[in-house]
Structure 1
């Protein structure tokens, strides 16, 4: 009878997989011995495996290159990284090794772009695509970037006032794109995205604000839907509607030469994940070419803005099971030494699921459990996997420590969780490890951030040492008033 945890995984999935294997009862991720990593740095910990960032970028570039060659497509492909997925310097440094471009979403993003230019990581030839609703500081920063010579900066117009706002601060002629306000999936809470300009209004908007404006040149149409790139009727219908707008604009706007299809490539969230990336890229290129041929216009250059796809599969988190609580005859709670709300906030906010596997004790028998975090919040739990309505882990044994890993967590979790700041119930952020390979292919590790300490949080809250002089002054003033 197969009762071991490794038997369960082998029976349920096609296992081992490219990034996962088991050696002597312990899990390896991209040939990283996770128990050795845990013994060296302790748990809880987060890690980023940097080579996977480059790996995914090169995979996507190859899919597009192959499709462009197959269909004799005359446009070029440009891979942009969506910085909001992870702004960390080590992420940008790795991504920029692969001749990519940048997509920004806020004013401070431009400060990062300028810093990267100072360091020689990007040049004026790098496209900087600026999305989002543009408040005053964002407009000012975009204008500064363009005025300083970055002619490949393309602000994407999100509302009717942005042309005028940008024109007031940018010296000379500049390029823009227009974002389409796509219609949301029928089951969504509202009908049309708050971002961009409606399908029917784009051509009139171009005619009224851009066509006769000698200072502005339209270069790009931007298309993105909230559910991302999926092989379903909704996605293909929205793409075709976008292409109708593009061909209509192209006929009256010769300078329009680029189509940005946004991001939204899914990442692996289960060992049962199956997505045919090559087919999707091939069919997108095919549909764009067919539509343009039917309408008698040149095909556009293609831009994508992959964020989660770029960085998501590089990240992981490892926790230790501290204790098991048997709350009734059916529910066993394995309590981890951290919090899901604070370290993996998407599990709480949008019920997102990541790949979850035991790190050690794969040769032990298993049991059904629930996972609980340390906060005193009833929502701080993780109770099921995407492939089954349950979690199975090696049986709890207080004399045999159990470590568990969540994988492909590299996108959004640090920024949504407020990296380096206050956490719910003052649960400290775990230490963060960077994992790379040297020129010979050997693994290297580096401590990027220590686990938060009490004084870190006390400083934020106003109890810290640097606030001592201020407190003394306030106390002195109070005494004088008295």
Structure 2
């Protein structure tokens, strides 16, 4: 009978994959022996595999460049990293080695930009796309960047007052973009995004506030929908509505030359994940070109703002199963040595699912379980995989430690979880290590942050 955990994985998924394989009876991630990491650094453990960041950036750049060549698309592609996905310095330093630009969303983001400029990591011609609702400090920081000579700082206008605030805060000429308030999917909780300006109002906004303004030129139209880039009628319909606005503006605004299609590329949340990135990019490029050719206007430069796609697949978390609780005749709870609420907040806040695999004991029998965290909160659990609606792991045995890994967790989890701050039930943030490769491809690891201590927490709490 096929009752072993390895049999289950083989029957359920195409395994091994480009990221995962089994070697010496333990799970390897990008050829990294994860049990060796546990032996060296312990658990719970967070890790970031830095080469995956560059890999995904370069893949997207290649796909867009190939699509431009196929379509004879006479413009440029610019890859922007959406910093709110992960603000950590090791992420930005790695991403910026790949000829990219940055998208910001708040005032303190600009302080990061200034720090990176001081280190020579970005130049005055690096595009800084500033999104979000802009309060006084954000406006002032953007103005400081423009006044310092950063010619490619482009604030994206989110509401009718921002342009006046920006022109009052800076004495130089500058470029802006306008964000479209896209309509959401019919099943969504609201009809129109709170971000940006409505489709029908953009043309009049340009005529009233920008067209005759000697200090400001419109460079970019910004388009993004909450559900991301998907091959469905809703996405293509919203894209075409955006292109109609672009063409109407372009005919009266020569300085408009760029279309920002935002982010939203999905990342792998299951070993059964399928998404044809190349097809989607080819189709987006072709549709933009077709609409522009029919209207006899030049095609725009295309900007993207990939956040999760950039950094998500670089991250992972490792836990140990501490104990098993048989709560009734059907439910077995495997208790981990950390908390899902504190370390994988998306798993309970928005029911997000990640790739989850055992690290060891693949050749032993499996069982169906629920996973529970350490907090005294009923929401601190993980109960299903993306495509099988259940969790199966090697059978618990108190004398045979079982380790499990959650993968592609690199976007948002640390910032949403309040990294370095107070966690629910005072569960400490786990040790975080960085994994890189040297020029010869050899794996290098180092500790980014040790596990949070009680002294650090008590200091925050004022004790």
TM-score of the two chains, using structure 2 as the length reference: 1.00
Aligned-partner Cα distance in 2 for 1:436–1:430: 19
Map of 1:353-392 to 2, 5 A cutoff? Answer: 353-392=353-392
Residue in structure 1 matched with residue 177 of structure 2 by the alignment? 177
Residue in structure 2 matched with residue 235 of structure 1 by the alignment? 235
CA-CA distance at 1:236 after TM superposition = 0.4
CA-CA distance at 1:173 after TM superposition = 1.0
Map of 1:341-360 to 2, 5 A cutoff? Answer: 341-360=341-360
Residue in structure 2 matched with residue 250 of structure 1 by the alignment? 250
Aligned-partner Cα distance in 2 for 1:212–1:172: 16
Aligned-partner Cα distance in 2 for 1:226–1:172: 34
Aligned-partner Cα distance in 1 for 2:234–2:451: 44
CA-CA distance at 1:11 after TM superposition = 0.5
Residue in structure 2 matched with residue 149 of structure 1 by the alignment? 149
2:319 counterpart of 1:319: yes
2:212 is paired with a residue whose SS is coil
CA-CA distance at 1:24 after TM superposition = 2.1
Aligned-partner Cα distance in 1 for 2:261–2:99: 19
Aligned-partner Cα distance in 2 for 1:58–1:297: 30
2:128 counterpart of 1:125: no
Aligned-partner Cα distance in 2 for 1:24–1:103: 43
Aligned-partner Cα distance in 2 for 1:174–1:283: 33
Residue in structure 2 matched with residue 332 of structure 1 by the alignment? 332
Which stretches of structure 1, 4 residues or more, deviate above 4 A after TM superposition? none
CA-CA distance at 1:25 after TM superposition = 1.6
Residue in structure 1 matched with residue 6 of structure 2 by the alignment? 6
Aligned-partner Cα distance in 1 for 2:314–2:389: 26
2:103 counterpart of 1:98: no
Task: Give per-residue Cα distances to partners, 1:61-113, cap 9 Å, x unaligned.
Answer: 00000000000000100000000000000000000000000000000000000
Task: Give per-residue Cα distances to partners, 1:404-428, cap 9 Å, x unaligned.
Answer: 0000000000000000000000000
Aligned-partner Cα distance in 2 for 1:406–1:173: 48
Task: Give per-residue Cα distances to partners, 1:97-140, cap 9 Å, x unaligned.
Answer: 00000000000000000000000000001000000000000000
CA-CA distance at 1:320 after TM superposition = 0.1
Aligned-partner Cα distance in 2 for 1:80–1:138: 19
Residue in structure 2 matched with residue 291 of structure 1 by the alignment? 291
Map of 1:440-479 to 2, 5 A cutoff? Answer: 440-463=440-463
Residue in structure 2 matched with residue 400 of structure 1 by the alignment? 400
Residue in structure 1 matched with residue 416 of structure 2 by the alignment? 416
1:252 is paired with a residue whose SS is coil
Aligned-partner Cα distance in 2 for 1:75–1:217: 19
CA-CA distance at 1:172 after TM superposition = 2.2
Residue in structure 2 matched with residue 113 of structure 1 by the alignment? 113
Residue in structure 1 matched with residue 265 of structure 2 by the alignment? 265
Task: Give per-residue Cα distances to partners, 1:264-316, cap 9 Å, x unaligned.
Answer: 00000000000000000000000000000111100000000000000000000
2:81 is paired with a residue whose SS is strand
Aligned-partner Cα distance in 2 for 1:379–1:109: 32
Task: Give per-residue Cα distances to partners, 1:434-462, cap 9 Å, x unaligned.
Answer: 00000110000000000011101000001
Aligned-partner Cα distance in 2 for 1:455–1:325: 32
User: Structure 1 regions of 5+ residues with no counterpart?
Assistant: 464-482
CA-CA distance at 1:389 after TM superposition = 1.2
Aligned-partner Cα distance in 1 for 2:125–2:56: 23
| Contact residue 146 and residue 172 of structure 2 kept, 8 A | no
2:215 counterpart of 1:211: no
1:411 is paired with a residue whose SS is coil
2:149 is paired with a residue whose SS is coil
Aligned-partner Cα distance in 1 for 2:30–2:194: 40
Residue in structure 2 matched with residue 50 of structure 1 by the alignment? 50
Paired residues in the alignment total: 463
| Contact residue 44 and residue 320 of structure 2 kept, 8 A | yes
Aligned-partner Cα distance in 1 for 2:133–2:285: 29
Aligned-partner Cα distance in 1 for 2:90–2:325: 39
Aligned-partner Cα distance in 2 for 1:414–1:30: 22
2:281 counterpart of 1:281: yes
1:234 is paired with a residue whose SS is helix
> Which has more radius of gyration?
1
2:69 is paired with a residue whose SS is helix
CA-CA distance at 1:388 after TM superposition = 0.9
2:221 counterpart of 1:221: yes
TM-score of the two chains, using structure 1 as the length reference: 0.96
1:149 is paired with a residue whose SS is coil
CA-CA distance at 1:171 after TM superposition = 1.0
Residue in structure 2 matched with residue 83 of structure 1 by the alignment? 83
